[in-house]
Each structure stands twice: as C-alpha cells, then as structure tokens.
Chain A
C-alpha cells in the first residue's frame, strides 16, 4: 500500500468532511475556470485575428474608432472616403481584395447596423479559416438584404421577411420609405456580422438621403486629393458632368429624391475599405499602410492592434484582478484544508501512533498527511475544473446568445496549466504543519492515550 492509498483510505473514513473541504477548493477553481473561459472568448474575439483582412482603410482620425466601427460595429463611423479611392486601391498590385463598407443606417426594429457592401465580402473568409455559410440566395435587387444570425433570431426574421430602416442611426428618427426584404441568413459567426444587416452597395447609394450635396462632395474631394491634382481633375470632371445632368433633370421637372439615376463614382462615398494583401509578402501591408498615411486624408490600420491595446490595457487588468480574486478564494479554501486536517490530527494521534508502532517511520506518516492534503487539493481542483468547464458548456449557448462571443467551453487557458502545479504547492503548504504534527507524534504517548 503506498502513501496515497493509505491517505485515500483515511480521507474516505472522513468522507463528508473531506468532500466538503475538497469542494471548497473546487469552488475556487470552478470560478477561475469560468473567468478564464469568459476572458478567453473575449480575447479571441478582440485580440486574435478576428478578421481575415490585413488592413482597414478609413478617413484620418482615431484608429480605435475605425476598428470599432468597421469590424465591431460598435461606434458610429468617423467620416467617409471617396469611392474613387476604392478603385485606386483595387488597382494597387499589392492588394488582392478591397471590399468597401458603407454604413450609417440601422434597422427600425432592433437598431441593427445596415452595411452596404459587395458580394466579395461574403466570398472572403470572415475569420482566417472560416468562410461564411449562407442560407438563401445572393443579393440581386436594390432592396435585397442578407441578415446576420442574431438579427434573424432577435427580430424573428427569416427569408422573405420585410423591414424598414432608419437613416443615420436610431436617434434621427427618419425612416426610409423603402421596404427591404431578407433574401439570405448567415450562419452564426461569433462576430459582429451576426448583428449586421447587409445590403448591396449600389442599393445603399440609391437610398434617399445617401447622396451628399454636390458642393460638399466637391470640397471633400479637394481636401482628399490635395496632393494628387491628377486624380482630383478626373474626379472633378465626373462632378461637372453630374451637375450638368442634374441641371437638365431639374429643368425637366424630375423629382430628384425618388429618381434613382446612376450616381457617378465621384459622388459616392464609402465608410471603410477592408484590404487583403498578398499572403506571401507580409511586408506589403506595412508599405501600403505607410504610403496611405502620407499621401491622402486616409489612414490604414491593422484591424487587431488598436483593440489589442484596449483589451490588454483595460480588460487584461480586469482579468488579472478576477484571477487574483479567485486565487484568493483558492487560498482561503487552502486554509480550510489546513484547518480541517489540523483539527483532525488530535483525533488521529492514536492512529498515527499505531502506524508508527507497526513500523511506519516519521517520514512515512509525514508523507501520508501530505498525500492527504495533495489529494484534497488536486481532487478538489479537478472537481472544480470539471464543474467549471461543464458549467461553461451548459451556459455557452445562452452566453453566445447574450454576448455574441464565440465561447469554446473546453478551451484550456495557459493559466489553467499552471493551476495544478500551484495546487500541489498549496497542498504542500497547508499540509506541512499537520504533517509535522504527525512527524513529531510521540508513539508511546499516542498509544497510551
């Protein structure tokens, strides 16, 4: 019989007290596992490659705001970029995909953001290795929409549902007349796409209120292309031509607001452009970003870095605080184990005396007590680990619904790997004094007690 078998038998003898003591450790470990699973989900959503693009291009401003609005759809867009700029980027040899996003509107029901984009958005992966799974058909008409999984679930929409959208965010209160129709629903992605309604970029431009006054557009183009007179001249030509058509139509008495003529590219704007560069030359993304920064009123940001800064700066500390808190709970439970074993020592004095009389050495009984505290700590820890992950499994569907985070309840955080060595250390710490009591037991006295 080895030390652990003997220790296990002793623990079984005090089953209820042993179980409760182990559970107290288990509770701490369970809380730690839950904290780590939750933060693991937040971490993978915000700090890993949560988007399969290398750069996000937007107007100059806050890089964090650009990422929050373009990727996470949490912030209103900063400003817009000329559509012509998209064409320019598409022609860059370093760019293999440039997908425009235009937004600013929300659904009337549920206030989900509306994004105008191109089919290429769905052809690209939304996360590295994860392609969109779409139930339904492609967008053809101007009023066709593809809705995210959460939009469908929360609003109770499915293919064929119709809805209206509010211009410029929920506060503006201006509801577009158009009735949009759901033609496809996305499978859950665990990203902001789940909470987004997509429509055709052309359809987006055709919506009333989405064309800016010509003067404003002219001014923006001048600002944007201040350093590139050649492109500015091309853009201005298009504007002049457009002005001419507008003037003719006004003369002929057309209702501008409801006449969807083709808008020239120079009049169009996009909110952000998602860029994929060639995967074999990672330097392309850097050089492109640096170039964009210098030449125009635009910026290109890495879609991960600003969020990573935010998450490690803010959430990282919260995670550390919560992990520290659960560590304290585990430590307090460790004190509970110490008290439990230490209190049992006076009852077990005779038992130890008998073992010593049978030939067990001092180190033997010392080891048996340490084995007991180790079994309690490791057993409790294992119990807590299993309960923690089981709870995560059980609550994952609910959490995914509530938070939109893709939770992997069995994902083992590196911190968890350190848990068990730490528990062994804790067991040694809390078992040491009781083990010393066993070590010092006077056999003759113990047997006569």
Chain B
C-alpha cells in the first residue's frame, strides 16, 4: 500500500475564532504504483489534502500513512526529511527556483533528502524528460513546457514512492499538455511510483483508470460533528 488516509479531520480557525471545516475523510487508499486522478471544485479542499498527504500540513486528527509510515504522527523535522525522500510534488506553477539552473533545481531536491546528491541520476532524469541539452539553463531561459518538465524531473529526484501532482498541466500550453501528462505518467510507471493527480480537466481525468471525486469521499461536516460530540 502506498497511501492510506484514515479518519482525517482538518479545519481552519477563522479570524473570529470559528472553525472552518475543510476535510473529513474516513478512508482513502492507493496501491503501490497506482495512478489516481482526483477531481474537485475550487475551494473544495484539494490543496489542503495534498498538503496533508505531503506532510506540509498536519491533520487535526487521523492517520496519513505513506509507504507504511504515519507521517501525521511524525515530528516536523522527521516529516520534512520523509517528504524529501519519499514524496515527489509537481506544482501547478512549477515552482522552480530562479537562482538555480535546471540541473541544480533537480540537485537541490536531492540535497534536502540527506542522502547526498546523485548528479548522474539528475542528468539522467533531465534527459528522460528531454532536457539533456538544457541542463545549465536557468528557469527564465526555458519555455513554460520545459519548466514543467524540469519540475517533473525534480519531483522524481529522490526516487519517491508517491508523486503528488497539483494540476500540472493547467499553466502549460495545449501542445505541451499531453506531453507533460504522458511524461509524468510514464516516468511514474517506469519507477513504480504511485501518482495522485489533482485536475480540473475531465479530458485529463478520462485517461486515468481510477478517477475519484473529492466531494464523494470528503465530508467536512464530520469535523463539526466530532467537535460537538
């Protein structure tokens, strides 16, 4: 099992002190190597869910088990290290660091894992996404599609067990959309990485064998029920 969410509750405290429930997920599972498209409306808690799965946020309660480890119970410093080594993230806005070249962006991801950097593997990944000739280019000198490809390579730098992709093709031109999508899915398949891709696009979702809709299994009101109970 690659990912297990159990009895996840997450709410935010609003300025007036009232709590705003966001997530109430009783059970969610992904098998190792499985690829899932997650569809959800804006403001439906998709980003919060990804942040909780990646350990950027912790749930108010519940278990987040990635590769057999409950990251919700980990101390922050352990969780950071775990995220670096086990979870890859592809952002909608790529989030490459402008001060670093394509290769360095990939190496940077490696350097936080505590396992040292593997320059050869980083180059191999960039070659795999078709950027072997642009290793030393800064993000500003790359096209939008190329930037997202660097981001894909970076997300796989630490050989993660789970890749979280947050609408990775939303900001990419149509010509590159399919290319990026194929690239993410193929590389995940090649490396036996589970993929959870958040998307708005029904066309993108249609290419996945498993498509989940967040509102079908997320019941934020559970947070309130448990609080009042």
B77 at the A interface (CB under 8 A): yes
Q: Knowing A443-B56, A447-B91, say if A13 contacts B99 (CB, 8 Å).
A: yes
Cα-based distance from A363 to B81 in the complex (angstroms): 12
Residue of B nearest to A358 (CB): B109
| Selected interface stretch from B66-74, B110-118, B190-198, B201-209 | B110-118
Q: Which of B47, B89, B111 is packed against the most chain A CB atoms within 10 Å? A: B111
Q: Knowing A358-B108, A359-B85, say if A9 contacts B100 (CB, 8 Å).
A: yes
Q: Are A1 and B81 in contact (CB under 8 A)?
A: no
Residue of B nearest to A12 (CB): B99
Q: Are B47 and A448 in contact (CB under 8 A)?
A: yes
Q: Which residues in window 426-449 of A have CB below 8 A to B?
A: 443-444, 447-448
| Overall SS of chain B's interface | helix
B162 at the A interface (CB under 8 A): no
Chain A's nearest CB lies how many Å from the CB of B211? 25
Cα-based distance from A444 to B89 in the complex (angstroms): 13
**Looking at the complex, which one of B54, B76, B111 makes contact with A1 (CB distance below 8 Å)?**
B111
Q: Which residues in window 352-375 of A have CB below 8 A to B?
A: 354-364
Q: Which residues in window 1-60 of A have CB below 8 A to B?
A: 1-2, 6, 9-10, 12-13
A351 at the B interface (CB under 8 A): yes
Indicate with 1 or 0, residue by residue over B136-174, a CB within 8 angstroms of chain A CB atoms: 000000000000000000100010000000000000000
Cα-based distance from A9 to B77 in the complex (angstroms): 25
Indicate with 1 or 0, residue by residue over B63-94, a CB within 8 angstroms of chain A CB atoms: 00000000000001100110111000101000
Cα-based distance from A362 to B99 in the complex (angstroms): 20
Residue of B nearest to A364 (CB): B112
Q: Are B97 and A354 in contact (CB under 8 A)?
A: yes
B95 at the A interface (CB under 8 A): yes
B34 at the A interface (CB under 8 A): no
B57 at the A interface (CB under 8 A): yes
Cα-based distance from A359 to B100 in the complex (angstroms): 17
**Looking at the complex, which one of A6, A10, A12, A360 makes contact with B80 (CB distance below 8 Å)?**
A360
B54 surroundings in chain A (CB, below 8 A): 357
Q: Are B95 and A361 in contact (CB under 8 A)?
A: no
A13 surroundings in chain B (CB, below 8 A): 98-99
Cα-based distance from A9 to B103 in the complex (angstroms): 13
Cα-based distance from A361 to B81 in the complex (angstroms): 7
B51 at the A interface (CB under 8 A): yes
Chain A's nearest CB lies how many Å from the CB of B48? 8
Chain B's nearest CB lies how many Å from the CB of A320? 42
Cα-based distance from A405 to B85 in the complex (angstroms): 64
Q: Are A361 and B80 in contact (CB under 8 A)?
A: yes
**Looking at the complex, which one of A359, A443, A444, A447 makes contact with B112 (CB distance below 8 Å)?**
A359
Q: Are B108 and A355 in contact (CB under 8 A)?
A: yes
Q: Which of B47, B97, B104, B117 is packed against the most chain A CB atoms within 10 Å? A: B97
B99 surroundings in chain A (CB, below 8 A): 9-10, 12-13
Q: Are A359 and B109 in contact (CB under 8 A)?
A: yes
Cα-based distance from A354 to B89 in the complex (angstroms): 10
Q: Are B97 and A351 in contact (CB under 8 A)?
A: yes
B111 surroundings in chain A (CB, below 8 A): 1-2, 6
Residue of A nearest to B117 (CB): A1
A362 surroundings in chain B (CB, below 8 A): 76-77, 80
B39 at the A interface (CB under 8 A): no
**Looking at the complex, which one of A9, A364, A444 makes contact with B57 (CB distance below 8 Å)?**
A444
Q: Are A360 and B56 in contact (CB under 8 A)?
A: no
Chain B's nearest CB lies how many Å from the CB of A135? 61
Jot down 9 A-B pairs with beta carbons below 8 A, ordered by A.
A6-B111, A9-B104, A354-B95, A357-B95, A358-B108, A359-B80, A359-B83, A361-B77, A362-B80
Q: Which residues of A contact B (CB under 8 A)?
A: 1-2, 6, 9-10, 12-13, 350-351, 354-364, 443-444, 447-448
- Apart from A6-B111, A361-B80, list 20 A-B contacts with CB within 8 A: A1-B108, A6-B108, A9-B100, A12-B99, A13-B98, A351-B98, A357-B56, A357-B89, A359-B84, A359-B85, A359-B112, A360-B84, A360-B112, A361-B76, A361-B77, A361-B81, A362-B76, A364-B80, A444-B48, A444-B57
